[in-house]
Amino acid sequence: MDVDEKDGFGPIRTSTRQNATQETANATGAQHTERLLETCISFLACGPYLQSSSEEATRDPELTQLIVKSADDPNKFIFACPILFRFVRQKIYHSSLRTLQRCILCFGDILKQYPFSKRQPVIISFLDFLRCSLGIWKADDELAKDVHSDLRSFYQWLSGLLKKRTYRSWALRDAIARFLGQYLAEDPTQESWIIPEDIEQPDTLQNYLPTYLLPRLHSDQDIRVRFRAAVLNADLFSISHHFRQLPLDVYEYTKSYFPLNLERQV
């Protein structure tokens, strides 16, 4: 059958539609996996806690080991690990420092893989895990020092993402900003974030400390991130004494990143 190619319409393109369909199917499958994992982990973590008369956090080595071993399938681990640590954050489930370190290393191995290092849901899941693990590393022993060292490498990486704006997604920048705010609420001195050899180098510290990164978000191109920054930066004044700055100095530094021409901002 002859086809009239001069009908004024362009060639039929199906690749975009097919890709969109595949992405939708993948997203749906991921949501189903996450819901299933959430149901199972919630039952195993909360059941013993609710049945305990002493209200002690659940200790289940088998469940912990199962989560750690799920790192062999990154698509499951990136959902399962944050779900378990949400209960750790709520003091419903107990996690040792050693378990935390193993999960950190597992996430590190996954994020080194190119297919996962560029996926926004993976990084946001990792941020969820970090948020839920805040406070677990507050211990004074050699293992805690090792955990601090492992965490610092990830903190530097997140700082680089925010500063260099490697990712265009406003949602990812917003998620990193929220994590920075939650971190400061837990550790306003930023002691575990600072690399020891940089303590006497203020210029270097300005490249990666949360108290210097958050004010920069006032000049973000997306208004949703700027609104987030306005809330988070307001909290800096109440904790400024922890990082040895006067409120006026915090204000001057924050003001320096206010956009001068809002019409050019998205």
Which one, of 215, 206, 204, lies nearest residue 250 by Cα? 215
- What is the predicted pLDDT for the residue at 40? 94
C-alpha count within 13 angstroms, C-beta hemisphere, residue 37: 22
> How many whole angstroms separate alpha carbon 176 and alpha carbon 161?
9
Could you state, in chain order, the average pLDDT of each consecutive group of 10 residues for the chain (266 residues)? 51 51 56 88 93 88 94 94 94 91 94 89 93 76 79 89 80 93 92 84 86 93 92 94 92 90 59
pLDDT of residue 250: 94
Task: Give the pLDDT of residue 27.
Answer: 57
**Distance separating alpha carbons of residues 140 and 135, to the nearest angstrom:** 12
pLDDT of residue 102: 93
Q: Do residues 150 and 102 make contact, with C-beta atoms less than 8 angstroms apart?
A: no
